[in-house]
Structure 1
Amino acid sequence: MASHTDGRAVLVVEDEPLLRLDIAQAFEDAGFTVLEAATVDEALEALGRGIDVDLIFTDIETPGRHNGLDLVEIARAHWPDVPVLVTSGKHRPETPRIAWFFPKPYDATKIVTQARSLAD
Structure 2
Amino acid sequence: MPAKANRTYEAVYIFDSALEDNAIAEKLARHHGLLKAAAEPTVEHWGRRQLAYPIKRRESGYYAIATFSLADTTVLPEFERALKLDEGVLRYLISLHERELGAPPMSEEELAARRAKDEDDEDEE
How does the TM-score come out when normalised to structure 2?
0.28
* Structure of higher CA gyration radius: 2
User: TM-score, normalization: structure 1?
Assistant: 0.28
* Bigger proportion of residues as strand: 2
Structure with more contact order per residue of length (Cα contacts < 8 Å, sep ≥ 6): 2
